[in-house]
Chain A
Amino acid sequence: MAETAPFLRFTNVVAGYGGGDVLKGVQFDVPQGGVTCIVGPNGSGKSTLLKTVSGLVKPRLGEIWFKGENLVGQTPRQILRLGVVQVPQHHSLFREMTVDENVELGAFLVKDRKVIAERMAAIREMFPIVAERASDKAGSLSGGQQRLVEFARCLMLEPDLVVLDEPSMGLDPKTLRSMFATIKMMNSMGRTVLLVEQNARQALKLSHTGIVLENGRVRLSGSGIDVLNNPEIGALYLGGSIEETKHAS
């Protein structure tokens, strides 16, 4: 029997920004339907890896297979059309536009007004903040609220794969919990999630797969629990408590 095409597969991905290589041959699979969490020290190339998925950084070598298509060389727009969306590490809402306009932009590639209206209605139900603050400028929302609106926006395309780069950055503990709950909800709706997290302990707990990236290479991979319980990794990246792993800035 032929092996079925993997959902998302990185094969020997080498990428950088024109200087030295940041990713030095990254190789791993993201299974369909689960939550895959990438952890690793600052500057290890986590964001760069996610940027290669969305076509923001073009790998110098290697391939990224998504449902049988190579994403390398495709534009961010083409990759969105294939069903891959990303919420980047920095806040990406358009601050001068309203919450409504921002969420609608999530469906920029959808031409049918009726479809957009239907999805907007569903999103408003799922994310009450979108309905409550509909006509407020996105820039007037708190950091946590902006993250939720970014989540809402990325779901407007009804993606198969949701890529999240450190969604918990800068959130207080309460917002943090509701954010992780939202990720679980997205996943239970059938979206595969690939995320990078500094709150490694919490994130790995809800992840099916864990990947440790170090200095541009995969250092370790396995089930979320295995990675969490690996003594070496625990000491290196997870620290004694969640508090200690939270990064400053």
Chain B
Amino acid sequence: MNAIALLNAAKDGILTGSVYALMATGLTLIFGVMDIINVAQGILVILGAYLSYALSVHLGIDLFVGLLITIPTLFVVGVVIERVFMARLKGPEKTAMSILVTYAVSLLIEGTLNTVFSVNVVQLQASYVTRSFSIGGVHFGFIYVAGFVMAAVLLSALYFMLYRTRFGVSVRASLADQTSAALVGIDVRRVSTICFGIGVAVTAAGGMIYGSTNAFNASTSYDLISRLLTIIVLGGMGSLGGAMLAGVSMVFIGDVVGTVWSPVWSTMSYFVVLVVVLLVRPQGLFGKQSARVA
């Protein structure tokens, strides 16, 4: 078999997979802290992409510069969603209810986007989007490399926040056990709201890269959310490291199978891996075993 093809698959896995990992990290952070499955994450990525699109097309703002606006905007969107819809969810049915409520939020955003931007697909444009270079026969698209660097920087920042700051300690404690966190004086409500904001804010960055590398409209969100959900299931719900590894694996496995065997089996191959892993480890690669019991 062709070594170059395999290298290319590995490269795609790492470059594209890291962006998926970033978007999935937001999802898993929200689940880990709040037991909420935010199925609106897919449409929020598309919202991020459309915001970048509007800024670049109408105001001529560069895609990367635009992130300085879109990331804080989506943070605020996340905080508002949490305060208005999520704060009311309580009790043992919370997780199930959260799927319904965030799905409703998702439909609301989808309808709005369809009205504002129409259903015609668009793609983000910039001089550098199509630029590329090659190293030893492996082809690198500039935007993919930029996406990887950005995902790496943002994920590092997230890790720094989690492991080196006082706020990070309160997030990790809330991730582990909300009651125990509350009993040492952590304001779990505030931590939840901020985490929801952060979890949604990463979709601005993910959406910009996604929208530069794919043509999209609002319904693209369905493909996105199914990928993001399977990533966090494989990685283990609530595990940040798991989301990263699974994000990279998803693209890598798909590309390797697509190259070595046939593109027909590309998407399915990841699900085969997912099912096999779940048979052996129902909690996913790095999932908490039963930390939430009692």
Where the two chains meet, the residues of A that have a C-beta atom closer than 8 Å to any C-beta of B are 17-18, 54-56, 75-77, 80-81, 85-86, 88, 90, 92-97, 101, 105-106, 108-109, 153
Contacts and interface: CB of A to CB of B under 8 A. Distances in A.
A56 B176 contact: no
A75 B182 CA distance: 9
Contacts of B179: 56, 88, 90, 92
Given A56-B182, A92-B179, A92-B180, A97 B187 contact: no
Given A77-B185, A88-B179, 19 more contacts: A55-B182, A76-B182, A77-B182, A77-B186, A81-B185, A86-B183, A88-B183, A92-B179, A93-B180, A94-B173, A96-B172, A96-B176, A97-B172, A97-B176, A105-B173, A108-B170, A108-B186, A109-B184, A153-B184
Nearest to A94: B176
Nearest to B183: A86
Nearest to B176: A94
A76 B173 contact: no
Interface in B75-120: 91
Contacts of A54: 183
B291 interface: yes
8 contacts: A56-B183, A76-B182, A77-B187, A94-B173, A97-B172, A101-B169, A108-B170, A108-B185
A106 B184 contact: yes
A95 B172 contact: no
B62 interface: no
Given A75-B187, A86-B183, A108-B184, A95 B169 contact: no
A108 B172 CA distance: 13
A105 B294 contact: no
Contacts of A88: 179-180, 183
Interface string B176-199: 110110111111000000000000
Contacts of B294: 90
A76 B176 contact: no
* Closest 5 A/B residue pairs (Cβ): A92-B180, A109-B185, A76-B182, A80-B185, A77-B185
Interface string B202-227: 00000000000000000000000000
A22 to B, nearest CB: 15
Contacts of A81: 185
A116 B179 CA distance: 23
A126 B291 CA distance: 30
A35 to B, nearest CB: 20
Contacts of A76: 182-183, 185
Nearest to A110: B185
A105 B176 CA distance: 13
Nearest to B92: A17
Contacts of A56: 179, 182-183
Contacts of A86: 183
A96 B195 CA distance: 20
B185 A94 contact: no
B184 to A, nearest CB: 5
Nearest to B169: A105
Kindly name the residue among A94, A109, A153 whose own CB sees the greatest number of chain B CB atoms within 10 A: A94
B185 A95 contact: no
Contacts of B177: 92, 94
A111 to B, nearest CB: 10
B242 to A, nearest CB: 14
B226 to A, nearest CB: 30
A96 B187 CA distance: 20
Contacts of B291: 95
A108 B171 CA distance: 13
Nearest to B174: A94
Kindly name the residue among B170, B185, B291 whose own CB sees the greatest number of chain A CB atoms within 10 A: B185
Contacts of A18: 91
A31 to B, nearest CB: 24
Contacts of B186: 77, 108
A86 B182 CA distance: 10
Interface string B125-141: 00000000000000000
A94 B173 CA distance: 7
B184 A105 contact: yes
Contacts of B180: 88, 92-94
Nearest to A54: B183
Contacts of A17: 91
Contacts of A95: 176, 291
A90 B183 CA distance: 12
Nearest to A95: B176
Nearest to A87: B183
A109 B187 CA distance: 10
